[in-house]
Amino acid sequence: MASTLTIKDLRVSVEGKLILKGLNLEVKQGEIHALMGPNGSGKSTLAYSLMGHPKYKVEGGEVWFKGQNILELAPDERARLGLFLAFQYPIAIPGVSMANFLRTAVNAVKGGKTNGNGGGGIPIAEFRKMLTEKMELLQMDKSFARRYLNDGFSGGEKKRAEILQMAMLEPEIAILDETDSGLDIDALRIVSEGVNTLAGPHMGVLIITHYQRILNYVKPDFVHVMVDGQIIASGGSELAHQLEAEGYDRYVKQAAGGS
């Protein structure tokens, strides 16, 4: 049975200001959803709230995944349950190689699942084999794993590093927070190919974006329009093309109670 992330009437504030105002959304394994909206509509607030960032205060609502209200769980528990967030602005960690970072992440999130020893680390040989397979799948040069995490990386390389993390952790639901931000066309294509390679029946994807362009490469099953902390319209991929052509003005007026 496919796992489903179900968001019910989610209300979230940041520094005393209510940002999410009763948001409802459902994402299933095997589905690709795009969440679009103007700047300031609350898209990134949703992403960080789902993963438990302490800056974002949940004022009400529920988020159910695999029989648990994840709002009651710590961020690492949410990750172990099968959720993943690719950041819009990944940070650099000089001195820590991609390979060491990834092994630590895999051990933390799925070590016990991998070798059945109740949480022990994945054997180094098994990890190296897994890393090599994922990098080949994503058509990444092996030297990438030896570089320090995001240190001196271009915007496209940082986003590819996020996709590699997603490949290694194999989440059931992946949230991509404006992964297309700051990418040129070539980098966007490479990152999109990575998403398409990994997406499938075992992983649901929520792509959070302001622009339609990434959806030229990653075709969503569902598109949602978010304005002022709520989803006010949903449809198929054609809705993204409509937004690209017409903009968000109509939906902003609708959210404000206009015609």
Residue-range domain boundaries for the chain: 4-92+150-255
Strand order in the sheet with 68-69: 17-28, 4-14, 56-65, 68-69
pLDDT in tens, 92-126: 999 999 999 999 999 999 765 544 444 468 899 99
Phi, psi of 162 (to 5 degrees): -65, -40
| Of residues 19, 25, 50, the one with CA closest to residue 233 | 25
pLDDT in tens, 39-98: 999 999 999 999 999 999 999 999 999 999 999 999 999 999 999 999 888 889 999 999
Per mean pLDDT, which range of 8-22, 101-115, 187-201, 226-240 is the poorest?
A: 101-115
SS3 labels along 9-28 = EEEEEECCEEEEEEEEEEEE
Which pLDDT does position 258 carry in this prediction? 58
Rounded distance between C-alpha atoms, residue 127 and residue 206, angstroms: 27
> Using an 8 Å Cβ cutoff, are 203 and 170 in contact?
yes
pLDDT in tens, 134-171: 998 888 888 999 999 999 998 888 988 999 999 999 99
Strand partners, 149: 93
The CATH code of domain 4-92+150-255 reads 3.40.50.300
Which pLDDT does position 1 carry in this prediction? 72
